[in-house]
A and B are shown apart, each in its own frame.
Chain A
Amino acid sequence: MHRVRDVSIRLKLTLLLLSTVSVALILSSLSHVLVLRQSVRDEMVNRFQTLANVLAANIAPALRLDPAAAQQALSDLQVENAIVVACAYDSSGTVVARYEATKTDVLDEMPVLAEGFHFTPLGHLELFRPVVSSGETVGTLFLRVSTVELNRRLFRHVLIAVGILVGCSIIAALLAGYLQRVVSKPILELAQATKQVRTSAGYSIRVTKTSNDELGALCDDFNAMLAQLQIRDAEIREHRLRLERTVQERTRDLEAKTAELSRSNLELEQFAYVASHDLQEPLRMVASYCQLLERRLKDKLDAETKKFLGYCIDGAVRMQGLINDLLAFSRVGRKGDVFRAVESLKVVERATANLQASIQEKHAHVTHDDLPAIQGDPTQLTQLFQNLIGNGIKYCEQEPNIHISAQPQDGSWHFAVRDNGIGIDAEHFDRIFVIFQRLHGRGSKYSGTGIGLALCKKIVEHHGGRIWVESQPGQGTTFHFTISA
């Protein structure tokens, strides 16, 4: 079935027509032969029934009065070649006369007397006719007729039917081959045009309409579709050119702005670095001399002046912290960073060592699982863990418990730093990683510069990972980040 489905439509149409005609012819011929067979049989039965009737009437008187005459009457059947055996029985069933056409047609066994006729399995027609004389049945006539002639006639008709079938099939094949073009030609032209459109995208191609039937309508629709496609193709081409020009212009603008932004960013970073670095020295000088003044003049200054001097020292110290944080922030990502294998356990130990004062002050507990070796900058990674552990200690109303864990994940390590601190509202999750964004005001008990988590984010992203937070107010906070193994 698949093979038929895959052949060309031309062959398919030819096969369709040919098979339809062939099946119709075969059925017609078959029914004709069957009807003919029955007709020939009926004709044969009628013919020999008539003959048997005449013969029975002829031999009726002789059957009892002159058996020799009955025998003679049966012997006259030799003019009828089809009759191979004939028998005349008297009323008691005794054979009075018999006729056998040839020695091979000897009636070895007398047929059982019956009525009517029947065809034997050996191909004979057997008839029984009552022999009636003056209204009295005086015997029975039996005829056995060969059906060779009948079969010969049938065979002749079958041969003729086969001949007609073959002849008609040839004519049908020729006609089918010619007629299929009426249907297949427009379809093949359509297929060819479609192929050309597909290969060359030339929508200017048109198919020729040859009829006003469904195929003609299909050609019209196909041509209309091509015309529409042609118009749209032109419009698309025009739009594309316009878009390309626009993209080129925008790309140029973007490149220019990117270059300007990069330059500006670089200058800003340099400025921040330089400014931070250069600001340290005068600030240290301000702080140092303010502290010197406070020590030397502590007995001479009144209380209000001492308070103002204390503000100066405090502002200078806070500015020093801010500048240090800015310096650390601006150092991340600068040229010269070299990643190497780092034992994250050592990094965590170093970070906790740096935070030892806070840990002891707030009686914090810092625990961790087995921690892996990772690729990175040990200083920055120490800064990362130090900031996260430090936040856990700082933003906690009770004894801080901080736990650090790590799980492998898609070729990286997924670190989690969990604390039991005050927690963060979900609406602030994005804000906390932005530089100088602080959740607690300057006057609150949680001091800070607003750079710590922004620095964490910059360090993690600089190491190819990402950072996010899970927290609920009062339920503690877990910072997650990934670092390449």
Chain B
Amino acid sequence: MSAKVSLARLVFALTLLVTGSGATLAQQEIVDLQYRRKVEMLYPLAKLIQPEQGLAHSSDTVVVGVLGQDPFQGIDSDGTAVNYLDQLVDSSNANRAKTKRKRLVVKRFDSAKDYTPCHILFVSSHASTTSEEKTIEERLRAALDKTAGTTVLIVADTEGLAAKGAAISFYLTRDEQGVPKVAFEFNPDAARRLGLTKIDAGIYRLARISRDP
């Protein structure tokens, strides 16, 4: 599914939600659209920040980790269960010959103690049943502790976490025309701490800049 269609569905869902007509829309669908967009934004963000620069991994592989419950589970248009992240990874790997992108590998960690080195670590807002960390703030702190001294792009699922140590944190907002959209915060201080130094200047135009308190 193209980015444009996904964005349109997300905008439609968020519009319904904001206008109060969302009562009829299943909560799951809204979440689906929101996380589909977040999945689509993960790789471009990684290209801007280039987290693989310091990772002792195979140079042609980008490892994406998900800490906490995987939020990218959804229902496809034909009603079948789908994982947007896996779908993206499969599609990207399948088109590698054409796109010349690096191979994507997904790792999922219920708790920070399970963490193994990744290039991108998405900190989910949902805790899995076996998670030791109950809130996203706890998972972020545990992740920061676990990844200290390594180079990794930590992307938080919800707003305000960039100021708490994540390099990127997603949030919901509206554009100039009042259309709701998924946006992100960027904390350059946190990025520097995470060893991310080759940062594309374009991210400063797109992100809401957040600083350490």
Contacts and interface: CB of A to CB of B under 8 A. Distances in A.
**A-B complex is real:** yes
Interface of A: 57-58, 60-62, 64-69, 72, 90-92, 94, 96, 133-134, 136, 138
A68 B202 CA distance: 14
Given A66-B181, A133-B48, 9 more contacts: A61-B200, A61-B202, A62-B205, A62-B206, A65-B44, A66-B206, A69-B205, A90-B3, A134-B48
B78 interface: no
Nearest to B175: A68
Nearest to A91: B99
Nearest to A69: B206
B75 interface: no
Contacts of B202: 57-58, 60-62, 133
Interface in B1-37: 2-4, 7
A61 B101 contact: no
A61 B205 contact: yes
B111 interface: no
Nearest to A67: B7
Given A64-B3, A65-B41, A66-B183, A136 B47 contact: yes
Nearest to A138: B44
A92 B7 CA distance: 15
A65 B100 CA distance: 20
Interface in B93-111: 99-101
6 contacts: A57-B202, A61-B44, A64-B3, A65-B44, A65-B48, A138-B44
A134 B47 contact: yes
Nearest 4 A-B pairs (CB), nearest first? Answer: A61-B202, A64-B44, A68-B175, A134-B47
A345 B107 CA distance: 157
B45 A65 contact: yes
Nearest to B44: A64
A58 B202 CA distance: 7
Interface centre among A60, A68, A91 (most CB of B within 10 A): A68
B207 to A, nearest CB: 9
A94 B2 contact: yes
A138 B46 CA distance: 14
B203 interface: yes
A66 B170 CA distance: 13
Contact of B41 (A64, A68, A138): A64
A96 B41 CA distance: 15
Interface string B162-174: 0000000000000
B86 interface: no
Nearest to B45: A65
Interface string B189-206: 000000000001011011
A130 to B, nearest CB: 14
Contacts of B48: 61, 65, 133-134
A67 B40 CA distance: 13
A109 B68 CA distance: 47
B176 interface: yes
Contact of B176 (A62, A72, A92, A96): A72
A136 B48 CA distance: 11
A138 B202 CA distance: 14
B176 A68 contact: yes
A62 B7 CA distance: 14
Nearest to A133: B47
